[in-house]
Amino acid sequence: MNKDALVIGLALFAMFFGAGNLIFPPFLGLESGDQWPIGLACFVFVDVVISCIGVVAINRAGGSILSIEGVLGKRAALVLNTAAILCTGVIIASPRTAATTYEMSIAPLLGDQIGLLPFSLLFFAVVLLLTLRPVRIVDIVGKVLTPVLVAGIVVMVAAGIATPLGPVGAPETATVVADGISAGYQTMDILAVVGFALIVQESVRAAGYADGKSQLSVTARASLVACVLLTLVYGGLTYLGATAATVVPADVNQATLITLITEQLMGRTGLMVLGVVVGFACLTTAAGLVGATAAYVERITDRRVGYRAALITVVVIALLICNLGLTTIISLAAPVLSVICPPFMITVVLLLFRRHIRSTWTFKGAALAAVGASLLLTAHDLTGALAFVEAAPLYVFGFSWLPPALIGAAAGALLGRRFDGRAPLPRP
């Protein structure tokens, strides 16, 4: 492991480890009880392993922002990329950063002295100012606060291992595996893989690696560094949640749980530090998300919708959704992400084998089948009306969309042969 791979791996770790991700592992541990290693393994596989593989796969495919478009076609890629952008910048991630900040930074310290509505107005007003005139404070605060946040978590996990909050009991859920996979979807890291892969590629080139083979080697090692660090941090947080069952209320939500754990292990001072760090980190994350979304809208509309108009619209929508509350946002996000994440996951994994795949139909068949299967599964989760899906392979593991996706890939490959190369796959 050379120095460049280590430095770039640390940067990739910081990109994936957003402050909003803090709330999911402890809650997963709380629900999983003594089965928390199983829940953690599922969470890490969906969130960490596949995302890091995606970074390598996209760079191996050429690293261009057009990687997805090149294998799915312009229209399908536009739909998938737009869905991802709407989730991260408008519907889920941006509102969730504000709601998380309120639950972790304001409510624990000030109680109900400040309501969610006035706080969210102030939060998104600052976000709007930061993105209307981007300044270095976003980068500076992000680079400073991530190490502080990680250091605080390391101290807290060490304290929790030395003096556990309580005994680890039986699971509170019968669906530990599915809950781990769902929590992995909720982080939405897989939807950010294309952008992160581009940043990693530029960093590798800036470090002096000119040929593709050396670039891929450094990228793979950097991704491994990020994968190991993320697994260790999330593992510690999941364990803390598993030990907290006897010291927290039964109806505790995700954000409140981590604040209660922090206060138990590090006192009121630790809670205040966590609140400040998470608040600023979420603020800069929200600014980056809404700014990127506004720029995307401007680009796909050929500037018919300007950056400022798009930005204001995005901020207003995020503000309204934020006031539904963190628990509601997370609940509403689950079915949406259950449909959008699988086609992204299968596409980026297949990109690893891009040089051995002859037709775009292979990717299109896999993505389309993943969407169709996910729609059926999500409809059943919401209504219980499609019981036949429970007989599907891997259903208990939350991956029953995978066999249809693989069948779709095989059917697409055969279709590509039938059309005699009318949809050839561009070479990277």
User: pLDDT, tens digit, for every residue of 334-350?
Assistant: 999 999 999 989 998 89
| Paired tokens of 154 | 């390391």
pLDDT at 228: 94
Q: Would you state the pLDDT for residue 16?
A: 86
Q: State how far the Cα of 407 lies from the Cα of 353, in Å rounded to an integer.
A: 16
Closest to 142 in 3D by CA, of 257, 280, 308, 319: 280
Tell me the average pLDDT across 379-397.
Answer: 89
Amino acid at 285: T
Each residue's pLDDT tens digit, 271-307: 888 888 888 878 888 888 888 888 889 888 988 999 8
- The contacts of residue 201 (CB under 8 Å, 6+ apart) are 59, 63, 215, 219
Task: Give me the amino acid identity at 387.
Answer: A
Question: Could you give the CA distance from residue 19 to residue 229 in angstroms, rounded to a whole number?
Answer: 15
Give 379 or 59, the one with higher predicted confidence: 379
Identity of the residue numbered 220: A
Whole-number pLDDT of residue 261? 93
Mean pLDDT value of segment 49-71:
81
Residue 322 has pLDDT above 90, yes or no: yes
Burial of residue 5, with CB atoms counted within 10 A of its CB: 0-12 exposed, 13-18 middle, 19 or more buried: buried
Q: Is the pLDDT of residue 47 over 90?
A: yes
Measuring CA to CA, which residue among 259, 257, 240, 238 is closest to residue 248? 257
pLDDT digits (tens, 9 = 90+) for 410-428: 999 888 877 655 555 555 5
Per-residue pLDDT at 164 exceeds 70: yes
Q: In this prediction, what percent of the chain has a pLDDT beyond 90?
A: 44
Averaged pLDDT for residues 177-197? 88
What is the per-residue pLDDT for 145? 66
pLDDT of residue 141: 53
Confidence of residue 58 (pLDDT cuts 50, 70, 90): confident
Mean pLDDT of 152-175: 90
pLDDT for the residue numbered 63: 64
